[in-house]
Structure 1
């Protein structure tokens, strides 16, 4: 638990707390002894030591209030957790091992001057730190700023993750071939179903003393699975399911120059989604997004284990030769009928009618 804001609970007025105080407290609470970070928070740049024989992988993700979370429905611990999880999931998709994280955080001016705002910031860093410690990811630097807009100012967090993978071994979207089998980790549709429940109640419904089985609030990046797929040479292509299975599968198909057939009956549907009616459950599973599971291809000749790093693996379909004039993706229904599966997940800047619900 962070001790950044111990004065918050005191009845007497809190002492002034500004940007420099925040940075210093972050530096103290995120102090690292990682061998990969030669110099962390406190200088103009961090100095990293990538492992010998490895390439460096970099990913960045924005977390914006009103788009990715709402302060009236998401506990700050969830916001901090999800901020880091988004980047870790990208590293997992490429079979990378995290080296360090960098956080740039823009806050409204009231966040550090009012006790409620300081409590929110405390919770945010608690959530981020808990996940960082779980995966041994040091926070090696970043930036802070005041958000513009006065009373309408929003919270913005930009996370940068640095990882490493053996030279030439990082998983990519472009290595799949016709005949490869398609697999997913875990279960799908849970994040979309949990978000729908949260928004319908319009209040915080999470007892965040535990983050177990909260696929939207506390997604689990599949780092151990990604590393195992890369290390054992099991996957020909891989990516994470952040924008929805249908949308992310289309990315894999286009990058690899293949088409795909998905077996509806094989889809591992999360129990949260199964509580919905059949049509809504299928919608959440195919298009919901933010599950942060891995979607990967592997040669059909490879005997895939039922679990990897303790996470269930499910074969959901097959890749086929791409043909002009034919559907990029097809859904095989339980009755044997086939329909075109179009990307229906999240896409920024798309027309409102085609957007999935985000927080």
Structure 2
């Protein structure tokens, strides 16, 4: 399963706002509409946003656009996902080295895409080792093939564990207000024939209390140097509930999502989105039009609630600040 393709100097994105009802591919030959695609979550998930931005940078080069201007516009599309900035910095360095040659830049973007898939598979290999036999796993939002270059971070761990016969059930939180768990994670799990049960966000604690969850695995959009991390809103609640019930809580992410320049989670920028994402559901009004809305896209989970961090280089355990530093040499 993939959500991003590059063919004949054209970027194709699977429109994730239409899933699971329709599978619609959109094509782009201009980088500017890609910015809107990132903002409106046609493409979403930190690694996928990074890969998409790299290809959009190539589109800018192909049309002879100002690459500094293109980079700045792409970087402003979403503030929390650090992979966006990482990929653009890498493309800018390549542009400086090759004089902005489009073919060289395209090769670099393809390499970023391929490396992301390889990192996800390595993450799956390392993460499967922490999954017990007959595991019942809870995940929140979507950190699968649709959120990455392919295979997935949290769902990559689940996929690898399922391939080893370890998974009895995956519980997917619906993930309000945009239902990425219901629309996307459930879609991926059903497509891959992995046992899946969809639950409302407010059901997770009761399942843990009944002893029906063996571990939690989630993705990440940015991690600070001490292991605090931002992920889809509601992740913090899942972590608190897991800690209270003694359920191991793991976060899976590539090293490109770790931002050592931020000491702790208080420095992670949190995107706030449109009020009507909460006031309405698929165009149907579900709340008074004049009610005030607070709609942060992410929350920050403190490292003290994290059992382990699953990366393509292995599983990291506390003390996280010290061991994350070692990861980068």
Query: Counting strand residues as a fraction of each chain, which structure ranks higher?
Result: 1
When Rg is computed on C-alpha atoms for both structures, the one with the higher figure is 1
Higher relative contact order (CA 8 A, sep 6+): 1
Query: Counting helix residues as a fraction of each chain, which structure ranks higher?
Result: 2
